[in-house]
Amino acid sequence: MITNKLASQLRALEDEVLLMGNMVEKAVAKALDALKRRDLDASRQVIREDDHIDQKRYEIEDRCINLIATQAPVARDLRRIIAVLNIASELERMGDYAEGIGKISIMMGEEPPLKPLIDVPRMAEKASQMLKRALDALVNRDVAMAFQVCSDDDEVDALYDQVYRELLMYMIEDPKTIKRATFLLWVAHDLERVADRATNIAERVIYLVTGKFQEINVSKY
C-alpha cells in the first residue's frame, strides 16, 4: 500500500532528523569542552566534523524532495515533510555555531580565556537541553513541551546579558582585555543563537501538530 509506504518513509525521515540532532548536540558539547581545555586539536576536529552535519542536511533535503515528487503527500503528511525540511536547516545552522566556537578557540591560541568559564558552559547546557526537548516534542507531538522550549530561551538570553555586562566591565577597566573579552563574547553569542534555533524547531513542532504558524518567543537579539 502506498499509504503504508509513505508512513514508513516519514518515520525513517524523522529518525534521520533525530540522528542529526544528536550530531549537533555532540558538536556543541565538544566545542565547549575543547575551549575549556584549550585543546586546539579537538577544536580543529569540531570544525572538520561540521562537514558531516552539512552532508546529513543535504541527505534529508534530498529525501524530502523525493517524497514530495513521488508520493504527492497532502495535508498532515505534507506538513510533516515541510517541518522536517525546516528542522534540518535549523540543525545545520546550529552545527555552524559549534564550528564557529571551534574557530574562535583556535584564534585564542594557547592563551587561556579572560575569565573562568562559568556562565558560558551554563548557556551551552541550557541550549542543549532546549534542543533535546524540542526533538522530544517532535517525537511525541507534544505541543506543551514545545511551548516550554520557547519559554526557556529567556533564561539563555538572561545568561547572555550577564556575560555581556561582565565582559564589558573587563574592557572598560582595562582596554588591553578587549581582544580576549571579544573572543568570549563571540562564543556566548553563538550559544545564544543555538538556543534561538532550538526555539525555531519547537515552533515548527507546534506547526506540525496544530497546522498553525506561531512565533512564540522573539529573541531580544
Q: Give tens-digit pLDDT for 178-221.
A: 999 999 999 999 999 999 999 999 999 999 999 887 776 666 66
Q: Which of 163, 165, 152 is nearest to 196 (CA)?
A: 152
| Alpha carbons 137 and 130: distance in angstroms, whole number | 10
Total-model pTM: 0.92
Residue 3: the pLDDT is 67
**Mean pLDDT value of segment 25-48:** 95
- The Cβ of residue 191 has, within 10 Å, a number of other Cβ atoms equal to 31
Residue 5: the pLDDT is 83
Query: Rounded to the nearest 5 degrees, what angle is found at the Cα of 31, between the Cα atoms of 221 and 164?
Result: 35
Q: Is the pLDDT of residue 171 over 90?
A: yes
Chain mean pLDDT for the chain: 92
3-state helix, strand, coil in the chain (%, to 5): 85, 0, 15
Q: Is 110 helix (H, G, I), strand (E, B) or coil?
A: coil
Contact 13, 84 (CB under 8 A): yes
Residues 6+ apart with CB under 8 A from 58: none
| Alpha carbons 90 and 221: distance in angstroms, whole number | 17
